[in-house]
Amino acid sequence: MRQVDPIRMAAWRRSLDAHAAVLRVLNSELEGMVGMPLSWYDVLVNLEAAPGGQLRMSELAERIVLSQSGLTRLIDRMAQAGLVERTHCDSDRRGRFTVLTEEGRQALHAAAPTHIDGVWRHFATHLSDEEAATLADVYARVDAAARDRSVEVVD
Amino acid sequence: MRQVDPIRMAAWRRSLDAHAAVLRVLNSELEGMVGMPLSWYDVLVNLEAAPGGQLRMSELAERIVLSQSGLTRLIDRMAQAGLVERTHCDSDRRGRFTVLTEEGRQALHAAAPTHIDGVWRHFATHLSDEEAATLADVYARVDAAARDRSVEVVD
DNA sequence: TAAGATTGACCCATCAATCTTT
DNA sequence: AAAGATTGATGGGTCAATCTTA
């Protein structure tokens, strides 16, 4: 069992609280301005960045860090709202694609300015260039390690 | 409306995903090893650090970034399990205190090694000393700004 | 009237079980 | 039997309304 030094523990606690606080504000602003929860926005962003505007359910679930069942229900609601559609995968008929609709693309573009402005005001404006680079670097490593628990060694 | 440069946006997205992934692992490990969710652990840590092992509901809600109603229900469950008790505040009888019980203190000490070890393996071990100091510093500013939305200026 | 806390109605996520396809 | 996705049961969170005390 390892100990964690005070500086690293402070980094952990501060980042936890700050993330919770920022997420709460961003969610509330996006919901209030364009009536869209942040979880929907994340799905739309990932779909638009994907080739053909479509992703497998399992792939999408992994990207937005959501359980498969949680994603099924999230996509249910978004499909109900017309922002995405489901199609079958020809090569493997167990799988399904979630496809961005034109309406979904427009909703994303309508929401983006509010969201990006919020990220600026509540997060990015507080970082120097060096700090931003450090965060991007650090969290790329942390993220990769947490997602790939098979490399976990008790040490 | 501001734009956010690619480095800061990368810092934001990476930190979001990494936090979600790390929280998921820590929660799962704590739940599996000692049968306690992370939300309970956070409450216990805050109570133990407070003078007299007690905090007002509103104060506790703010610290763990939870709505007041959410906290009421969280404390309901923890009191049911015997880890905390509620008392009334003499000077202002609208308010109530949540007090750490001896059982709660023991549960915290039983859970701490697992949690601290998890924070080390999934987060702290990936940071250099300089990076840890940077994160603690950055998130102290971000947290303060997000909590105090009254200082928010559209700019 | 306002503040602190709680409750009711509702939304959303997870685990375990299930169904289909490989 | 295993993988991809979905469903049922359940736990836990938020907003708006309510109750009590200041």
B112-131: pLDDT as tens digits = 999 999 999 999 999 999 99
* pLDDT confidence tier of residue B154, bands split at 50, 70 and 90: very low
Please give the pLDDT value at position A149. Answer: 63
* pLDDT confidence tier of residue B155, bands split at 50, 70 and 90: very low
Residue B6 distance to chain A (closest CA, Å): 10
Per-residue pLDDT of chain A (155 residues; tens, 9 = 90+): 778 999 999 999 999 999 999 999 999 999 999 999 999 999 999 999 999 999 999 999 999 999 999 999 999 999 999 999 999 999 999 999 999 999 999 999 999 999 999 999 999 999 999 999 999 999 999 999 988 763 444 44
Provide Rg for chain B, Cα atoms.
18
Kindly tell me the burial class for residue A48, based on how many C-beta atoms sit within 10 Å of its own C-beta (0-12, 13-18, 19 or more): middle
A57 lies within 8 A of chain B by CB: no
Its pTM stands at: 0.93
Name the pairing type of β-strands A96-100 and A84-88.
Answer: antiparallel
- Is the CB of residue B123 less than 8 Å from the CB of residue B29? no
| Residue A18 beta carbon within 7 A of nucleic strand D | no
Tally the residues of chain B: 155
- Å between CA of B64 and C1' of C3: 20
- Å between CA of A23 and C1' of D22: 34
Please give the pLDDT value at position A3. Answer: 86
- Is the CB of residue A111 less than 8 Å from the CB of residue A30? yes
Among A26, A39, A27, A31, smallest CA distance to A83 is for: A39
- Which residue type is seen at B16? L
